[in-house]
Structure 1
Amino acid sequence: MVYLDHAATTPMLPEAIEALTAALAVVGNPASIHSAGQQAKRLLEESREQVAATLGVDGIEVVFTGNGTEAVNLALKGLWWRRRGAAPAEPGASGTERTRILVPAGEHHATIDAVEWLEQHEGADVVEIPLDEVGRIRLDVLEAELEQGADSVAFVTMLWANNEVGTIQPVAEVAGLTARAGVPLHVDAIAAYGQVPIDVRAIRRESEAPRGAGLVALSVSAHKIGGPAGIGALVLDRSAAVEPLIHGGGQQRKVRSGTQDVAAAASFAAAARVVASRLDDDAERMSALRDRLIAGVAAAVPGARVSGDLGPGASARLPGNAHFSFPGCEGDSLLFLLDAAGVAVSTGSACQAGVPEPSHVLIAMGRSEADARGALRVTIGHGSTEADVDAFLAALPAAHAQAAKAGLAARATSFDR
């Protein structure tokens, strides 16, 4: 199998596997005060510091979670409850209820579903900020919403880079806007971590963020960078406070109670160290493979359309992401046909209850439903090679021809009915 779905998950790095297996032999609860517990705690805290160093924060600001989705939910629901509860009491607060949540269109479903839950169950007023044609947030609309009434905003949340089309967002600019407005910002960096530099401390310093405002929370996940599945992290600035989702022993600043997974943390740290040490080299190599793939698709299927930002420079697009729309066929058909040919990719569509739906990201970018239904995401990772790209390009023409034929047949059948 040629694996080109690294945005979904990427194979564990050898260093991460080695760290995991070694740490599994460590006995002791890191909350225990005896020597075995303290040995486990030392390994846990060293791992926390190592992950923190790759994100430009202090160890105390890293809260380990069960996955990236939990980190996003902890940030969003935790900020909502804390900001709502603190609204009348915070210095300088006007007493206005903070019910508005500002969120760009085309976010990951971890964010979409969390804010929709807050809307349905907690009375949140979700304000969707539009995207431009390449999937980048409209800064002018966000700024206008903040100027309209920052006192009514609970928080702003956004992706660092879009997980479908790969467009990198202007995080520093948004952090500056929210800092000046006195509003907290959460960034979902799960797709970006390990592919682009992330320095939370530098962004906060440059935006001159006051306490509790600007970039205060950031979510990441280990399995996207070659670590194990089942562990993520929420970076939570010292000045920020969230209401916990889980109550219990008060571990991790009372933000996320429960016995921590020392072995997973050690494996996460090992992957983070490796990825950080070769970030620039890997980005250059993956970008070259991505560009080779995009050029090959253009030659093999002239009607294919690339989605996302194709502008020059490393700030435009994730180095490992190539996203296409194939007019006249379903992305799911392409996926299954390529899988049968031994190539693993993904679609840009969400699948709810087994029913394929058009990519909400492409729809948010102003693309047609036909484009959104014919989406395919190909993502390159640390183990990808030119041979992998060539295998995909060799399998694509036949798969596209069959998928296009199936798409036309499906429409003909619906017309007959």
Structure 2
Amino acid sequence: MKHNIFYTDFDTERITPEADGGYRTPFQQDRDRIIHSGAFRRLQSKTQVFISGEYDFYRTRLTHSIEVAQIGRSICNYLKATSPHLSDTYYIDPDLVEAACLAHDLGHPPFGHAGERTLHKLMRDYGGFEGNAQTLRVITQTIFSSTDTPKGMNPTRAFMDSTMKYKTLLHQTPDAKNHFLYDEQEPYLAFVFDGDLPSNHFSPGKALNEFRSIECQIMDWADDTAYSLMDIVDGIHARFITLESLENWAANASLNATEQKLLRQLMRVIREGDVEHVFARKIGDYISACQLEQWENYMSAKSNRYRFKLQIDKSVQTEARFFKKVAVELVFKSPQLHQLEYKWNFLLEKLFRAYSAHYLAGHGESFKLLPENTHRLVVQAATPAEKARIICDHIASMTDGFAIRTTRRLYDPDFGSIVDLI
């Protein structure tokens, strides 16, 4: 295989130097460490849209991440084959993009975005919670957590950056509901950008968060592709999106001409019973909608990862936005899902309150409510914020089912056994 000169030692550097990977590239090592981690396996039992395990054909965080990874690799292959800016010796590494796609949801807590919102509310006084920030925390600090002291996977600079969709620290936009990093993660930002933080060049918030490496941009569009298309497919299978519900929604939705056309096309696909086939084909359309545009910024001279912007065909972007709109209105805003979100919010609050009341009040020595290693780490933590962060790590790592069982063990007198795994 020809050497890829797109990347330099700057891109493959790790915080702690390691021996050469032998037959694997540094980015293949990053990917393999994700695949063989417990955090990745637990995605199989975390909610994507519908609660994990409810039916066997709905997507989970794991199947979603696998789909995103396939789309991300295909975008890399498409760009290498079609872009005049790339060649056989100068191209975006598909292993690096695959690693970013597989890792992009590692930080998501149980119960999807509803769980993310609840944990942020509960952690407001202790540094907040954000799914992308938690992903960075997992890969840099906690992914190997079965030992006495949790450790990160020592990712390469390029891989760490490829997962970092947001560069704004919480203190820079303190009222933000999402799209931030934890303040204590600033050293990782400094490592990624070799000390020259992007906040020195962009205003916090939208402008700063849109400053992304090309691999991160590809991961983000692959993610958009997967959920804008597949949330519709799952919504149709679950009978939230039907001909009748679409007609009723459209009657009051004030759709423009393009949206009305897309609505008619969607209804025809449902009527003909060809949903899976048509939407699978659309993935190819979304991949071939990508092209590269050269980009000059303060990092482009230091790394080729910042020399290009990913441009997406506007008609495809319009279609993706329409499908997201349909999913939000007919699935995410449905009474059925809101009832579940209410229950999930109640459940996570009870879990967090149980742990925080016990450990943050200084009574952690009396009962071990957490697993042995986690209990010890919380007791030894120096500040309430550090204790709360470790508790939050534990809850965020839970699968949907484990969160439900743990709540029942703590509160239901008729549930639980001394031999249960905790």
Normalised to the residue count of structure 2, the TM-score between the two structures is 0.32
Structure number with the higher strand fraction is 1
Normalised to the residue count of structure 1, the TM-score between the two structures is 0.32
Structure number with the higher helix fraction is 2
